Chain A
């Protein structure tokens, strides 16, 4: 884990909702597991006070990239940063996805849940896995790459309909050994049910509001089933990736 102040290399707009933030750093790009994240903040901005967590989208040599959706104050501030502006990063944080070896695996993402998946896909392929990649969004605005199976609710790009419906239709024919998912919680819950019924392990990456990001404040907990008991686990330190079968989903 590092805490560093680093100049912005580039902010690239993807469309009016999404952008990619890039920084260059030798240390921060070493030994990062897919699904790990950084707490990022512009130290010149007093409010919002807290840094915000963002998953690692891409690492190419010493360039570290984040795919970010503009949803509120901090993300909007980050989207307009100029090259050279100093931002602070704390990380890498969290456990990350366990990377299977020589298996048939499915990656499923929804909306901004796409962010950690390309890096996961790369690592899975390097480990000899056969990878299926399904991604869903509301419209073509939420689609980031043509090389994956895209689904849009309004049918403006790829298959029309929900990504979960689409996966459900062809799930058994894919015959996968492991599923990796990130996206809206209803999607993660539906996929977990699908996998549990078939005894297929599924790893889901969850989001919670964070303060410290390192496990010190106990602010980000969720309920997890463990040895027949319900316990609180920290999304920042014990997660953000959890076995889908163990998560107790919010009603």
Chain B
């Protein structure tokens, strides 16, 4: 038996590894069999198409990446027409990441997607720092997170994952509000705020001035957020933030994550997820520990 199977909300995963929203696409199917992943997570889909932000949108910075993509996506209609049928062919769980600008808009987006087969979970992106008034207002106010989660809980039976921003006063407070309102799980962390300046031109390197900071640099920040939240709630955590090796993934699992997502590292090593899946399995065997016992096994 595969020791690393997990349950996440209503889903069963063959292994605890997925990809972080916005850092992966079906393009990678040319390189490996995507059904080897525990789940696939789409880039964030919005009710209407979004052109995204003006370039420059990405810049490499201290051991990380700054991005201000601005949720470029074809909108839900086009997603259902072109992307979903392709995703549905892949024999693994599908997590559709979504964002909208009001609670009602979120609810009608979920309603629309609920009519479609092949979707296993929704990841609610209330934390993307790149779109004004969209996401971040939700992500920072515990009461709004509660109301939104409750409304979506009433709307769908599918697994509901709330994705949290680290750019808040108390992430555990927000996590508890999401749990109390009926979320099946939490995903954390989204990117940190960051910026970079060209000292010759004195201009910000990103057109949007501020962007989201990801990659190895943010791993310690992500890890302590996951640790804190894991101690405050009972629902499972999908952890992400700089994971670039088996060791990184194990740290998050030991800190309390049920599953992990690889983001920026996909750009550096597109086969990283597969290496991490194999590495976690080998660790469990060589340390004679079941995956279930490994979760939250931190010794203080």
Binding site for B on A (CB under 8 A): 1-3, 41, 43, 46-51, 88, 90, 208-222, 231-232, 237
In whole angstroms, what is the CA distance A214 to B60 when docked? 17
The 4 closest A-B CB pairs, nearest first, are: A219-B58, A216-B25, A214-B27, A218-B72
User: Does B30 lie within 8 Å of A1, measured CB to CB?
Assistant: yes
Chain B at the A interface: SS class: loop
Does the CB pair B55–A208 fall under 8 Å?
A: yes
Question: Which of B30, B72, B268 is within 8 Å of A50, CB to CB?
Answer: B268
Contact check, A217 vs B67: say whether CB atoms are below 8 A apart.
yes
- Given contacts A51-B267, A212-B27, A218-B69, 13 further A-B pairs with CB under 8 A are A1-B27, A46-B63, A49-B64, A49-B65, A50-B268, A88-B269, A209-B59, A218-B22, A218-B72, A219-B58, A220-B55, A221-B52, A231-B51
How many inter-chain contacts with C-beta < 8 Å in the A-B complex? 88
Which B residues touch A2, using CB under 8 A?
31
Range, interface on chain B: 20 to 34
CA distance A237 to B28 in the complex (A): 13
Q: Is the CB of A216 within 8 A of B27?
A: yes
Q: Mark B262-282, 1 if CB is under 8 A from A, else 0.
A: 001011111100000000000
Contact of B60 with A232 in the complex, beta carbons under 8 Å: no
B1-50: which residues lie under 8 A (CB-CB) from chain A?
22-25, 27-28, 30-31, 43
Which residues of chain A are near B56, meaning CB under 8 Å? 209
B197 CB to nearest A CB, Å: 16
The winner among A47, A48, A214 for most chain B CB atoms within 10 A is: A214
- The one of A3, A49, A220 that contacts B63, using a Cβ cutoff of 8 Å: A49
Chosen A-B contacts, 20 in total, with CB atoms closer than 8 Å, are A46-B216, A49-B60, A50-B60, A50-B267, A50-B268, A90-B270, A209-B59, A211-B65, A212-B27, A214-B25, A215-B25, A216-B28, A217-B67, A218-B22, A218-B52, A218-B57, A220-B55, A231-B51, A232-B51, A232-B55
